[in-house]
């Protein structure tokens, strides 16, 4: 299996730079492909679009958690995302409070990305993720 190199694994990761000249054509291509995909999803029907949303959000949460060193139950994440999207999740496993908190935070960040990020938002996410007020990490 090929090792993925994450940004924080590079020696100069805090001094990263990008080139608009190199990046913008790539971003433009992705947006065009995204438009094609969304257009195809619309022609296939709304249910498939919601299923695609379910798959995309579930995968995003799983991969983001992996970057943070967390291994979450994929089926519980999918069940929680389905419930938050208003889909029937009766046949799926029951979610934990921790899974629901992660899903709520990610959906909030994903669907409200154009709104300003306020301190109340960050504090709310923190309260949801750490109801005891602590992350479980201790400085010794």
Q: What is the pLDDT of residues 30-50, one digit of tens each?
A: 888 887 777 776 676 656 667
Q: What is the pLDDT of residues 57-103, one digit of tens each?
A: 888 888 888 887 788 888 889 888 888 888 776 677 777 888 888 88
Segment 16-27 mean pLDDT: 86
Segment 105-126 mean pLDDT: 86
- Which residues 6+ apart lie within 8 Å of 13 measured at CB? 7
- Which residues 6+ apart lie within 8 Å of 128 measured at CB? 101, 104, 105
Helices (H), the chain: 20-44, 46-67, 74-84, 97-111, 119-129
119 falls in which pLDDT band (50, 70, 90)? very high
């Amino acid at each position: 299996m090929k090792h993925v190199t994450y940004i924080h694994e590079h020696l100069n990761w805090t001094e990263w730079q990008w080139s608009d000249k190199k990046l913008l054509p790539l971003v433009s291509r992705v947006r065009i492909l995204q438009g094609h995909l969304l257009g195809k999803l619309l022609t296939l029907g709304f249910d498939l679009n919601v299923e695609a949303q379910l798959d995309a959000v579930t995968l995003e949460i799983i991969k983001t958690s992996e970057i943070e060193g967390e291994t979450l139950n994929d089926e519980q994440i999918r069940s929680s995302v389905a419930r938050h999207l208003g889909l029937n999740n009766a046949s799926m496993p029951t979610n934990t409070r921790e899974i629901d908190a992660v899903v709520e935070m990610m959906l909030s960040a994903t669907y409200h990305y154009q709104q300003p990020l306020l301190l109340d938002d960050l504090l709310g996410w923190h309260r949801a993720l750490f109801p005891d007020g602590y992350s479980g990490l201790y400085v010794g």
